[in-house]
Structure formats: C-alpha cells, structure tokens
Amino acid sequence: MGSRPRGGGPGVLLALTLATLLLAPPAHADGGLVSPKIVNGLPTQTQPATGALLVPFGSGHQSGCTGTLIGCQTFLTAAHCVCPGDTFCTPTPSSYAVYLQHSGIHAVSAIDVHPDYFFSVDADVAVVTLTAPLTGIPPVPLNTTATPSFGTSGTIAGFGVTDGNLDDGGVLREGQVVTGTCSGLVPEPEHVCWTFQAPVGPPGQDSNTCSGDSGGPLFIDPGSGPVVAGITSGGTSGNCLGTDRSFDANVFEFLPFIQGIGGADLSNTTCGTHSQVGDLSTTVDAWSQGGLPDSAERTCRKEVQTQIRRYSKKRHNLVRRCLDAVQKGAKSGPCPDALTATKLQKAVAKVDPARLDLKCPSGVIAGSGLGAACASAQDGAELAACVVATGDLEVDTLIDLAYVDPLGAGPIADPGQASCQRSIGSELSRYGHVRVARLASCQRKADLGSVAACPDAATAAKISIFSSKAQARLGNKCSDAQVAALDASAGFGGACAGVTTVNGLAACGLVAHDVGGDALLALVPGAQIGGNVQSFAVPFGADRFRVTLNAVDASSHDLDLYVKLGSAPTPADFDLSSTGSGVFEWVEQAAPTAGTWYVRVEEVAGSQVEFQLTATVFQP
C-alpha cells in the first residue's frame, strides 16, 4: 500500500508537481456549512499556535499547508509543503506567508529544509522563519523527552479538507488520535503513526488528517503541558477515510536540526510585551458561519449567560453597598470587609459547576459559541471559573470608574458629596444591569432566528430610553460642583478621571458600563444570522486588537473584512478594512478607542461561505 502526502490545498497546487497534483481535492464551488471534522474533527478557534502556510494568490493568499508556532519568529511545517518533489529543495521565502487566527498574516524571510528529507522515508521537516517576531501568541515547545510510546493520546489540528474528495480546506479543525505502530509502512523512529478505521468514534474524539493538514502539529502532553511531538506528513488513503494509516515526522528525532535553525527563539514562552492569548486579561471573541445553534447549544448558552449575569450583578451590588456604607460613615473600611467577603464567597458558590455540567455537557460546549475566556473551557468547573474570573475583572473595573475611593479607606465628610457618590454608583450600576439584561434577551431571540442582529431596533430603543432616564436622575441628584469636588478629593478611575460636570460623568460612566456589559455578554456572543455583522468590546487602556478571518478556501470564494467603532460598517463606511483576494484577511489597531467595535464579513464571491472570525483584544 503506497503512502500519500497530506499537503495539496489550493495554494500548494500552484507549486507542486504532477505526482502531488494527483492527491489534490477537486474544485468544489460550495464550501457548505460547518462540518464536524478535521476528518471527523471539530472546528476550533482555540489553537492559537496552529497556523496556515499560505502562498500568494492575486492580491491575497490561498492556503496550502499547516504549521505550528514554536518561537516568536519560528514556524514548523513539513518539507513536502515547500518542496514540489519527494526530496530536498531550496524554497523561495517570498513565495510563502504564515497566517494565525490571533495574529494575522506574516511575511517569511527564510525556509530551511532538512538536508535528509525524502518523503515517507526520512526528515519531512522544514523550519520557516518569519520576517519579524510576532506578538501575543505563546509558542508551543517541542517534545524533547522521548519518542511517543504506542498508545499515546494526542491532538491533531489543521486547515485541511474534511474528506479527500472535497475542497473545504481553510477552516481550522482539531481532533484526537492514539499513536500506534507503523507496521513497516514508514521507517521508525523517524515517524509517529496511528490508524483511522471503523468503528469511528464521536467527532473530535477519533480523527484523522487529510490534504492541507500537512505540516500541522501532533500535540501530546508528557505531564507539563502540550508539546509538538509530530509534523503531519502522509497516509495511505487518498480520501483520508477509514481504513487509513497516517504518519507524522517524529519531532524528537529531528531536534538538532530544528533547534539549530530556531536557536534562542525556541526558548520563548511568550511573545511581545503586551498580554498573551490565554491570559485572563486578553479577551477573544470567536464566531463562525454555520447556522443557528441547536437546542442543546442554546440551553448551554442560556445557562452560561444566566450565571454570569447573576454573579456579576450580585458582586457589583455587594461591593457597591460596602463602599456606600464606608463613605457614609456607617461601616469601617476597607472594602470588602469581613461580612462582605463572606457574602461574596456565597455568590461564588452559587456559580454552580454541576448545573453547568448538566446544561453544558462536554460534547456541547465546543459548538455553543462561547467567547472570551470560556471559549476553551472543557467542563462545568472550567466554565464556572471563567464566569467568576470574568465577572470579578469587569465589576472591579466598573467600580473603579464610578467611585473616587474604591478601597473605601474612609467616609466622605460632606453629606452632599456622599449622597452624590451613592447616586453615581447606584444609577450607573442599575443602567448597566438593565442594558445587559435587554441585550441578553435579544441574544436569545437571535439564537432562535427571530431577530437578525443585536441590538435590534426595539432593544436599542429601550436601552436609549433608560440611558436618558439615568442621565436625568444623575442630574437631579448631583451638581457639577459636587462632581468636581469628588474627583478632586481622590479621583474617579479610568476614562472618568478629571471629570468636573454631571453630564461629563454620565457620558464617561455610561460608556464604561456599555463596554463592561459587552465584555460580559461576549461570554455568549450573539448568534450569526446573516448580514455577517458581529461586535466586540474594547475596554479602556487596551494595548491593541486584531480581527482575523479565514474561510473555506475554494477558488470561487472571496471574502472582505470591515471594522468600525460604534456602528456596523459597510464597504463604503468603515474605520479598518482588509480586502485582498481570497478568504484570509486581518486588521490590527494599536491603542484603540474604548467602546463597541463592529465587524462585517462581506461575501464578494460565494454564498454562505463557511468562515471563522476572531477578534482578540490585548492589554498592556
């Protein structure tokens, strides 16, 4: 039985020889909806170090292979992805680029192919060096322990097709495999192998690689976290379906070559000075085109949304009441005092992992479209931890914006100023809770398909009316002199620092609560219902954000990306755009203005193209 490479996505077709062309999937105009496969895998936007190896195509790029970020400037892939034949070559760096979902498209300065490369025999390894170091994505370390033993569980990931007869590459998918003997198919220990055969397990739990996944990772965990143990190379089945014998280049065998090229860059565990993907302070909103969530996914989304709203509201009110009592002189600070701390612990305990497990079983979480820190949660305990951590961060930020003395060191001597401060905390808090509740209700309607986008006109009108009333109530309860005196005494936080008028405080405070509420709602992003418009929150002081787009990379598909602050963009009205040919697009904004930013995916060619859209906001 012969062996076949796992390269051959649309981009690679431009460069490979006739022998490899025979393995390429046929052109297929319609990518279809999201299918649960790498082969039999699951779409993912939680493998930040797994990237696509691109080739130029018109004014844009097309995908060809996959690879893994192993340093801030070093990307590991397969030799056959950059060599058109079975043996060693010298690739042209300008003929390639690298795309990562949280970082965008990066130019290549060098490509080093292992000198012993011979496909299916030895050293299917290439190291790609980026023109400049990227930031914000932690590299994955190499397996330096030992060749994986038979029976080792691992995770595969790639941008390849879900069946060798289809042309649906360009979407990142992942799945599980268990290693086994190569049984003489390819040499060992140069290769790591597994068998994909019936009976096939559930999607994501029993998977395989296919065309376009070449160069992608086999991750294993030897006990201290994931490492790259394999580089996707080939298999025996042309359509990648069972029975298929698949094999990877064994990273452990080729460490000297990889380390010789990567050098000190391979010791990096983080990239850049700002926050990293995976940090709590880095928020990630991820959307995909793939229809409305099913009933199980809707149930999970609703439960997560209910628990985050309940917890954040309880924490906000408890901390606010403690501060009000201290500043009134009825309680000694700082906050939270012992009684408040006990009540906060009870609020944490009510975030129920068992109920989250019941409403969000492990097989449902991945398809429920959860965002921010919850996107990578595996079970109810991790969901509960995400809910609490996110609620703590957002509430404490909002308290700092609304109170001049958020630690509650002592009372405010002037009764009028103390009363004004309590009114500020109360009105802004109430507005924030009402707004989040209205938008959450809209999101549930969107999940059912009864509204096209959130906020719809009715929801927006209700929020606007409540906002006006909140501003009016503040004007009745505070004077400009009291606001100015409060800020002069200790200073409001964030964007409200230095305000001297009631209207100025209302403006900054309401916007701050909009941003904080949107960050909470980002745990359960609105369903994708057509129009291809989504939104994400940028908090005050963010270092930068990136929005990236990848999609089914059929030759007939072309998508553009538009981003705008405050309202939905159009192709004629936007703040940022990426409009190259093809389906790989990205934008970046340093020191962005705080607020709600909107993203539009425009289908220039193709209809209902399956895509993955990722917005990542980094902190200093």
User: Rounded mean pLDDT of the chain?
Assistant: 88
CA distance 194 to 214: 15
What pLDDT is stored for residue 449 in this prediction? Answer: 66
Tokens matching residue 500: 């001297």
Query: Which DSSP helix (H) or strand (E) runs through 274?
Result: none
Token digits of residue 190: 């140069």
Separation of alpha carbons 80 and 212, rounded Å: 11
d(CA 212, CA 166): 11
Average pLDDT rounded to a whole number, residues 414-419? 92
Please report how the helices 502-521 and 480-489 are oriented relative to each other, as an axis angle in degrees rounded to 10: 70
Distance CA 85, CA 272 (A): 37
Q: How distant is the alpha carbon of residue 341 from its chain centre?
A: 33
Residue 127 has pLDDT above 60, yes or no: yes
Q: What pLDDT does 526 receive?
A: 62
Number of H helices, E strands in the chain: 11, 22
d(CA 15, CA 145): 36
d(CA 469, CA 84): 67
Quick one: pLDDT band at residue 15, thresholds 50, 70, 90?
very low
Which sequence spans correspond to the domains of the chain?
A: 4-21+33-272, 292-521, 533-618
Backbone angles phi, psi at 419, to 5 degrees: -65, -40
The phi and psi torsions of 268 (rounded to 5 degrees) equal -70, 130
Average pLDDT over residues 537-555: 94
Question: Looking at residue 495, what is its pLDDT?
Answer: 80
> Three-class SS of residue 97?
strand
Whole-angstrom CA distances from 257 to 76, 115, 263 are 11, 9, 10
308-326 mean pLDDT: 94
pTM: 0.68
* pLDDT in the model for residue 21: 24
Residue the block writes with tokens 């085109």? 289
Provide mean pLDDT across the span 374-385.
Answer: 88
Please, are residues 240 and 194 in contact by the beta-carbon 8 Å criterion?
Answer: no
Residues 6+ apart with CB under 8 A from 580: 58, 59, 60, 61
What pLDDT, on a 0 to 100 scale, did the predictor assign at position 30? 26
Q: Which residues contact 543 (CB under 8 A, 6 or more apart)?
A: 274, 275, 590, 591, 618, 619, 620
Q: Are strands 74-77 and 60-69 parallel, antiparallel or unpaired?
A: antiparallel
In the predicted model, what is the mean pLDDT of residues 160-187? 92
Question: Can you give the pLDDT at residue 28?
Answer: 26
Residues 6+ apart with CB under 8 A from 56: 95, 97
Fold of 4-21+33-272: Thrombin, subunit H (2.40.10)
User: In this structure, how many other beta carbons lie within 10 angstroms of the beta carbon of residue 426?
Assistant: 19
Mean pLDDT, rounded, for 204-221: 94
- pLDDT for 151 equals 96
Q: At what angle do helices 338-349 and 295-328 cross, to 10 degrees?
A: 180
- The CATH class of 533-618 is mainly beta
Judge whether residue 574 has pLDDT over 70: yes
Phi, psi of 580 (to 5 degrees): -70, 170
At residue 286, the pLDDT reads 87
pLDDT of residue 25: 29
| Band of pLDDT at residue 531, cut at 50, 70 and 90 | very low
Bridge partners, 228 (sequence order): 142, 219
Count other Cβ atoms within 10 Å, centred on residue 569. 22
* Pairs from 578-581 (Cβ < 8 Å, separation ≥ 24): 578/549, 580/58, 580/59, 580/60, 580/61, 581/57, 581/58, 581/59, 581/60
- Kindly give the residue spans of alpha helices, DSSP state H, lying in 272-335: 295-328
Query: Any idea which of 141-145, 214-218, 293-297 has the lowest mean pLDDT?
Result: 293-297
Confidence label for 348 from pLDDT (cuts 50, 70 and 90): very high
Three-class DSSP category at 173: strand
pLDDT at residue 370 in the model: 81
Tell me which of 434 and 533 has the higher pLDDT: 434
Mean pLDDT of 405-430: 90
Residue with tokens 């595996």: 378
> What is the DSSP-derived secondary structure letter of residue 139?
P
pLDDT at 16 over 70: no
Tell me what pLDDT residue 19 has.
Answer: 25
**Average confidence (pLDDT) over 67-72:** 98
At residue 293, the pLDDT reads 66
Buried b (16+ CB within 10 A) or exposed e, 485-508: bbbeeeebbbbbeebeebebbbeb
Say which range, 30-34, 52-56, 171-175, 546-550, has the weakest mean pLDDT: 30-34
User: Mean of the pLDDT values across residues 584-598?
Assistant: 95
Instruction: Check whether 31 has a pLDDT greater than 70.
Output: no
536 vs 286: CA distance, rounded Å: 10
Confidence at residue 316, expressed as pLDDT on a 0 to 100 scale: 94
